[in-house]
A and B are shown apart, each in its own frame.
Chain A
Amino acid sequence: MTASPLPFSLGYGTNGFTDHPLSVALDLLAEQGYGAVALTLGHPHLDPFAEDLAEQLQALRKTLGELNLRVVIETGTRFLLDPRHKHRPALVDEEAASRVGFLRRAVDIAAQLEAECVSFFSGVLPDGTSPETGWQRLTERVAGVVEYARDKGVLLAVEPEPGMLVETVSDALRLRAELDNPDNLRITVDIGHCVVVEPDGIRGALLEAGPLLANVQLDDMRPHAHEHLPFGEGTVDLPLALGTLAELNYRGVAAVELPRHSHDAPGLATRSIAALGDAWAESVRSRESERWLQESTTAVTADPSTLTTVFAQAGRRLGRTPLYPDADPTGVLFGTTSDSARGLLLGRLGELLPPEEFALALSALYDGGDSAERRGVLRGLATLAARSPKLPDVVVIAGLRLTTEALRTNESGLVAAAVGPFAAAHLDQHSWRHAVLKLVFMGVSLRAVTDLQERADDELARMAGDFAAERTAAGRPVPDDVTLLLATSSHSTTF
């Protein structure tokens, strides 16, 4: 599996670099591997009303070319038009001539810089203004700017913002519809905003924008606060976002948007591009895995005899790296990428094949499999059990035989894979206790066990106590997990 390059350009917003002169910020970004910049007009980087604007733009165009940076124009400058009121006047205000004038100027600048687009937002409705009035003002004014931009050959991209009249991609589509869907009016999506306001999340919003997507802003965010955060500090599923962009064949700019973090701009730019690289690799892996699942499901349902070979080849196709390398660096506890993919494949086949046939397939795969394939079968049982409390009897019987066999081995990965949701739901209490104690004995963390608290009982605590005594007598250390088992004995479970 080789890493494929991103089909779109990663950029960084200059509004996150306000403590650096523009030319220095551009040098840093190019040096760190960014291929684009989102240029916010206004203080401190580029005054759109400067007298020598033409010369500045000429020099800037040259610099961008030399650094090989694509550029999008952002217009969300807070106090550019009114030093006292943020983002005023807005397109939805009663009086908005300066806003419209500014957007036209932004179009001129975009034309001169050969920018990808001009991104803008609708604004917050003033107190006492009805949405109807707001929409009327917005459509009328945007219509003029759209026409102006069309003559200049510039794309506009309206950005939904939490709290503004155009808040979601649906609203942006409504705006387009009211203007008869002008070709040069496209959409900007900020993936952080999506976790706050989009009903179908990031993926839903990106898919809804689809081919109209002309600009993307990247940041993390938490669902209840419109606050742009560094990656990893919110709930944004970055691999999913990048994967969805790739799926849409998005070729534009996706730029990091951290307008309140200029104090640490170089560090954040470095960490952001590293996070984006990791997320992209993760999204490539998960799409590859999904592709394999679909191909394999199709192949096996068409010809069940292919299952053995398909199953054997998962590791070669999807790799064998631990699924959660930070929490489980050896992959013993939670398995590897291919263990998981095999498990998911069996999860799908469990729904498609008749139960008798599926049970036979499980047994054949386990009996004829190497250790990795056997782990895959056990993960498949886990997938099925986690999804459904009631499995067909034939599947449970086959699953119990395989689980019992795995628990009889001394291979840590097999034993760990056999104490998941299937064992939690179906294994008898005696065997389950022995499985837990065996993990402790083998030095495998009890994090591998599903429903440990729910099923632990006094007898298990007694066994753990005896084990601890034996270790102590031998002068050997008692594993921490034994203490955990002793602590779970307060309630007794019958099964």
Chain B
Amino acid sequence: MRIFDPHIHMTSRTTNDYEALYASGVRALVEPAFWLGQPRTNVGSFLDYFDSLLGWERFRAAQFGIRHHATIALNPKEANDPRCVPILEEIPRYLVKEGVVAVGEIGYDSMTPAEDHAFSRQLELALEYSLPVMVHTPHREKLAGTHRTLDVVRESGIAPGMVVVDHLNETNVEIVKDAGAWMGFSIYPDTKMDEQRMVAILSRYGTERVLVNSAADWGRSDPLKTARTAHAMLDAGFTADDVDQVLWRNPVEFYGQSGQLILDPIPGFDAAEPPNATAGFEGNSVLRGARA
């Protein structure tokens, strides 16, 4: 099984996690720029963080056989601090770097005018640099925030297929699907979404335009949620090919729109086997149960 985690904050994770990710089939991932828990107070702090995403973290991932990509942006939470906002002027030079596959995470946290400004400015940058965007939906006021997010995206003129709206759940998946954007789901130990609910959503809405991620970061989270969701899908009767679509081909298709994905195996490591739709998986026959 090959897995592409489309959203995981490896800067906050250990080398044990990298080893476990590789063992579970993860061969590529995307680390979106976000906040680090401790608020930043100046532009230089962002620069070092962005450089680290494109330098040290990519090197670290490669040591464990994993292709590391990044998305770059001023995140919505820190868009509210005027000391941080000038980073917007530095972002363009990062958008031409290798392995920068989207502008993100952008969107809303508290839906302030400052967030509006950063959001729409960075949508313009995505258009200008022909990059997809990763949009974060707020933890509070999620449904209202999602409506407003979709309005802003529509007004920006960016193609909905170039946008993933992330951290969705049962309440807002439908409006994102109808808008034609990609649907991102973060599978967490307790909050946001779990494997079983994810499988139910896949059964109801299908496997197209769906991205499943662990969004693992410095908080309580589990980097192996992508693999666990894959197993839950198989247990529920999805085929190995469905799993490959959701956990590999979908993220490849979405981020591939940047022209910046690097997916050849790292020298010295193997490509994970693509699934054989007719083979069993870990003792289970793939076609067990009715196909939803």
Contact = CB atoms under 8 A, between A and B. Distances in A.
Contacts of A373: 97
Interface stretch (B33-41, B54-62, B173-181): B54-62
- In the complex, which of the residues B51, B59, B98, B99 has the most CB atoms of chain A within 10 Å of its own CB atom? B98
Nearest to B267: A330
A316 B259 contact: yes
A372 B93 contact: no
B98 A329 contact: no
B262 interface: yes
B268 interface: yes
B241 to A, nearest CB: 28
A370 B268 contact: no
A22 B289 CA distance: 62
A368 interface: yes
A76 to B, nearest CB: 46
B200 interface: no
Interface string B52-76: 0011101100000000000000000
B56 A411 contact: yes
B277 interface: no
Contacts of B98: 312, 315-316, 370, 372
A322 interface: yes
B267 A370 contact: no
A483 B54 CA distance: 36
B96 interface: yes
A413 B55 CA distance: 11
A308 B93 contact: yes
Contacts of A412: 59
A309 B260 CA distance: 14
B262 A320 contact: yes
Contacts of B55: 370-371, 374, 411
Contact of A371 (B54, B93, B96): B54
B267 A322 contact: yes
A313 interface: yes
B41 to A, nearest CB: 21
- In the complex, which of the residues A320, A370, A374 has the most CB atoms of chain B within 10 Å of its own CB atom? A370
B30 to A, nearest CB: 15
A331 interface: yes
Given A313-B96, A315-B98, A370-B54, A330 B59 contact: no
Contacts of B260: 316
Contacts of B268: 329-330
Interface residues of A, number: 21
Interface in B119-143: none
Interface in B70-94: 93
Nearest to A371: B55
B250 to A, nearest CB: 23
Contacts of B96: 308-309, 312-313
A370 B58 contact: yes
B133 to A, nearest CB: 20
A413 B59 contact: yes
Interface in B100-124: none
A411 B59 contact: yes
Interface string A407-435: 00101110000000000000000000000
B131 to A, nearest CB: 14
Interface string A352-381: 000000000000000010111110000000
A409 B52 CA distance: 12
A312 B97 contact: yes
A368 B262 contact: no
Contacts of A329: 267-268
Contacts of A374: 55
A331 B97 CA distance: 20
B244 to A, nearest CB: 25
B263 to A, nearest CB: 12
Given A312-B98, A313-B96, A371 B267 contact: no
A316 B268 CA distance: 22
A60 B161 CA distance: 59
Contacts of B99: 370
A331 B260 CA distance: 20
B159 to A, nearest CB: 22
A308 B92 CA distance: 11
Nearest to A330: B267
A439 to B, nearest CB: 16
A315 B58 CA distance: 15
- In the complex, which of the residues B51, B55, B93, B99 has the most CB atoms of chain A within 10 Å of its own CB atom? B55
Nearest to A374: B55
Contacts of B259: 316
Nearest to B266: A330
A331 B59 contact: no
Interface string A429-472: 00000000000000000000000000000000000000000000
B93 A331 contact: no
Interface string A60-96: 0000000000000000000000000000000000000
Nearest to A310: B96
Interface in B212-242: none
Given A320-B262, A329-B268, A331-B267, A370 B97 contact: yes
A371 B97 contact: no
Contacts of A320: 262
A20 B260 CA distance: 52
16 contacts: A308-B96, A312-B96, A315-B98, A316-B98, A316-B260, A320-B262, A322-B267, A330-B267, A330-B268, A370-B51, A370-B58, A370-B97, A371-B54, A371-B56, A371-B59, A412-B59
Interface of A: 308-309, 312-313, 315-316, 320, 322, 329-331, 368, 370-374, 409, 411-413
Counting from the closest, the 10 A-B pairs by CB-CB distance are A370-B54, A371-B55, A330-B267, A411-B59, A312-B96, A315-B98, A329-B267, A370-B97, A309-B96, A370-B55
Given A330-B267, A370-B55, A411-B59, 8 more contacts: A312-B98, A368-B93, A370-B98, A371-B54, A371-B58, A373-B97, A374-B55, A411-B55
